[in-house]
Amino acid sequence: MSDFFLANRRMGGVISALTYSATTYSAFMLVGLVGLSYAGGVGALGFEMTYLCGLFLAVFFLPRFWLVGRRYGYITPMDLLADRYQSKAVGAVAALLALVFLVPYSAAQLLGIGLLLSGMSGGGIPVLAGILVATLLAIAWSRIAGLRSIAWTDAFQAVVMMVSAVILLTLIMSEIGGIRMFVSRFESELPQLLTVPSGSGMWSLNMFVGLSLPWFFFCISNPQVSQRFFIPESVKAMRQMMGGFLVFGFVYTLIAVLWGFGARMLVPGLGNADMATPTLLAMSFVPKALALVAMIGIVAAAVSTIDSILLTLSSVWARDIYRGVLNPRASEARELRVGQWVIPVMAAIALVFAWQASTKSGLDFMIAPLSAAASAGLLMVVPSIFGAFFWRRATAAASVASILSGSALVLLLQVTGAKPLGWWPGVWGLILCAVVFVAVSLVTRAPVE
């Protein structure tokens, strides 16, 4: 189990940093964030920088995850929670939360690939065909390879992503007339994109908080990311992983936002902002070979995220639900087989979700907001994670009650489209979750150890 899902906890710092980067930065960045920048301006930069600011949480949690993971042999973050709260129910409920909310997050990556292939082919490749190809690639890679192979391919994909993105940015700036001309034209032609809220009506305070709050806690709330905390081989590798990711993330964020601004100048008036990147790559000033490399880089980024999510979901189902609740006496070999068979099932569900999203329009079905909406549900595990490490009084009953109540509220608000007092579902869900967690902990008995 440890070898297949965690590469036996022996990944070096550079590879750990690159697989962390490729897992985190997917179609969301060079399709979703580009589209969000195209539509909403500098608010998109602040939104994504919130994620990097949230990485200060890793200073507190990464060493703790790494240490207890090695000491107690945890495979998943839910494994950790179940042991800390001495309750299999905690692990199972947190696992179900991940299974529910990581489906739309995976779907956002599939949708990004579908839009990219369709846009670059001028509609010759249907969006659904692109989604299907991405799904099959992710299934094959995650089911056959395991994390060790995924990590090495992630490293290669991360390099391709960065190099192709830098070259394309250079071409975009050259087409506009250089950096100075870009700045001059941006100020004169698109001043509405330099304000928050933007002139397009995006980035009110409520919207910014609603989208950014899940991003701030992303590194501990999303299990496909926090599971990476278990893989460095040493403290030195752990530090290299986080330092390398911070540099990669900062540069990649700036590139994606500048792509979006450049696209707004070169191809104004797109009906679907998520088509900004496909449209740019199909323009005549981009050499076909380079466009192909960039497309492969974006597809690789999305697939690396999807297969990492599928690997996490399969380990969560096998360890925290199947072996944790349904069949505690199952052998590791049986547990591994169950996990491998979960992969195509979850991928198929994500495919259906992505196909449905591709038929919709509006802000909620753009890739970036769709990703943030999925992460809003995963926020509900945050109080339990804080309590696991920093509050001895925290209880299993509080963890279960807070996750269930918070996620139920988030689902209700997302399905109905309601935003009480203008605030987004993740905000209300986290408030309720935190209140329930504290209140129930105070009236129930904490674990003995």
Per residue, the 3-state secondary structure of 65-99, as one string, reads: HHHHHHHHCCCCHHHHHHHHCCCHHHHHHHHHHHH
Largest CA distance in the chain: 68
Per the confidence metrics, is the pTM higher than 0.75? yes
Q: C-alpha distances in angstroms, 347 versus 43, 309, 310, 341, 379?
A: 32, 10, 7, 11, 22
Phi-psi group of 178: left, alpha or beta (phi > 0 → left; psi -120 to 50 → alpha; rest → beta)? left
Q: How far is CA 255 from CA 59, 216, 248, 251, 261, in A?
A: 26, 20, 11, 6, 10
pLDDT (0 to 100) of residue 361: 64
Type of residue numbered 298: I
DSSP reduced 3-state for 311 = helix
Among 245, 253, 258, smallest CA distance to 168 is for 258
* pLDDT at site 362: 56
Question: From first to last of its 449 residues, what are the pLDDT tens digits of the chain?
Answer: 565 666 677 778 888 888 888 777 766 788 889 999 999 899 999 999 998 999 889 888 999 999 999 999 898 899 999 999 999 999 999 999 998 898 888 888 888 888 888 888 878 888 899 899 889 888 887 766 555 566 777 788 788 888 888 989 999 999 999 999 999 999 999 888 888 886 666 888 998 999 899 999 999 999 988 888 888 889 899 889 989 999 999 999 999 999 999 999 999 988 888 889 989 988 888 888 888 888 887 787 777 778 878 888 888 888 888 888 888 888 888 888 888 888 889 899 999 888 888 777 655 556 666 777 788 999 999 999 999 999 999 999 999 999 999 999 999 998 898 999 999 999 999 999 999 999 999 999 988 76
**CA separation for the pair 389, 381 (Å, rounded):** 13
| DSSP secondary structure code for residue 32 in this structure | I
pLDDT score, position 29: 82
The structural domains of the chain, ordered by start, are 2-360 (1.20.1730.10)
Residue 403, both tokens: 């996750």
Burial of 288 (0-12, 13-18, 19+ CB in 10 A): exposed
State whether the Cα torsion 409-325-307-169 is positive or negative: positive
Strand partners, 11: 232
CA–chain centroid gap for 396, Å, is 27
Give the C-alpha separation, 66 to 229, whole Å. 6
Residues counted in the chain: 449
- Residue 25 in 3-state DSSP? coil
- Using an 8 Å Cβ cutoff, are 113 and 134 in contact? yes
10 Å CB burial of residue 45 (0-12, 13-18, 19+) is buried
307 Rama class: left (phi>0) / alpha (psi -120 to 50) / beta: alpha
> Which residue is associated with the tokens 């790494």?
66
DSSP class of residue 420 equals: G
Q: Report which residue type is found at 46.
A: G
Which amino acid type is present at position 69? G
